[in-house]
Structure 1
């Protein structure tokens, strides 16, 4: 068993036991081919949560500083992470992400860039739109909702794929594509909240 699979199993147990995680929409994630998962961002626990309950390996960007931490820096690449310089257009990270998608891999992005302390869905950065338009990836809007407090319920919703084919043909901008992704995540949130009113 690879280090990634061991980590995924341990995370799955952790989230199930301590946060009573409810998963919805796993069937929306294709079993093969490139996939771009775009999720809202509330906590440092979001990346392992998003990847723990799907069969395929998840790749994601992590801030460059984390790779300078002794043990963590050596561990992160085995867990699907690759470095990104925050606050700048990191071309190397963009090439790495695009390369993974072109190889049929699964990548997860948090378009907001930083965590939302209020839980509100904020404007996304254009990186997610760039990957959605420049690859043939299936784009999966994803919502994390609830509080990361022990034995409180967290819900993880993988939404239905967003059809980007027409947007690619119309050569829309990365910012426009990101806006569509964020609005779709907001609709997932609104629908979820309506169900529990």
Structure 2
């Protein structure tokens, strides 16, 4: 495993070299430690681009795995700006295209960049929960993804990832202490979903909550039950 000292050294090298070096290093670790199983790739064949991918979030390795699996989509990831403050995660971000967003705020600048990217035909991947789950189960989603879809009319494809919480587990000591472990990681790609329409008697915030929940339930359907958390439907229940 690359040491924190080496991460800091690489981080002070020229930007172009850092991007090149980080791709080589982190791609090596993904190849060495991750046994990746992909399901549902055929669901993307007939979907018109651009696509707004929405996915649950378990680990700092999620973007690395998804970037590899969905390489052909040339994804732009939406990531919290705090990741740039840690040398290891900053290294990871240097090998993926990202739009930084300030968590738990109405970051108009970031939202504007995401909307412009989608309208320019670029594919975006968002983690609607806004942060990694420390229990490996789904948490309540933020509503920002609904606004972005509404303003761009982008197709929405749910993606589920699991096993990544074992590939690069969260460390209570901080992100710099996280290290890779051998793990089987599954990526399950769902079908393009049809966004529910707003009811006449429905308030804006009620509608946005309903749609964000709808998206998350579509992700939950692609996950084993133990990962579904607050979006764990009982057998036979239906959400619309």
- Given the alignment, which residue of 8, 13, 33 partners 2:49? 33
Aligned-partner Cα distance in 2 for 1:19–1:5: 21
Aligned-partner Cα distance in 2 for 1:83–1:89: 13
- Given the alignment, which residue of 174, 180, 183 partners 2:214? 180
Partner of 1:53: 69
Alignment of 1:8-157 (within 5 A): 14-29=29-44, 33-54=49-70, 55-67=72-84, 76=93, 79-146=96-163, 147-149=165-167, 150-157=181-188
TM-score by length of 1: 0.80
SS at match of 1:41: coil
Deviations 1:137-195 (CA, angstroms, capped at 9, x unpaired): 1111111112424222110111111112x5279897332211100111111114798xx
Gaps of 5+ in 2: 1-15, 168-180, 228-240
Deviations 1:26-67 (CA, angstroms, capped at 9, x unpaired): 222357621011000001111121121121211112222344
Aligned-partner Cα distance in 1 for 2:90–2:185: 28
SS at match of 1:21: strand
TM-fit CA distance, 1:7: 6.7
Aligned-partner Cα distance in 1 for 2:88–2:221: 39
Partner of 2:197: 167
Sort the Cα spacing of 1:22 and 1:6 in 2 relative to 1 into closer, same or farther, 3 A: farther
Number of residue equivalences:
191
Contact 2:57-2:161 at 8 Å conserved across structures: yes
Aligned-partner Cα distance in 2 for 1:10–1:159: 30
Contact 1:8-1:51 at 8 Å conserved across structures: no
Aligned-partner Cα distance in 2 for 1:28–1:7: 31
SS at match of 1:148: helix
Contact 1:37-1:107 at 8 Å conserved across structures: yes
Gaps of 5+ in 1: none
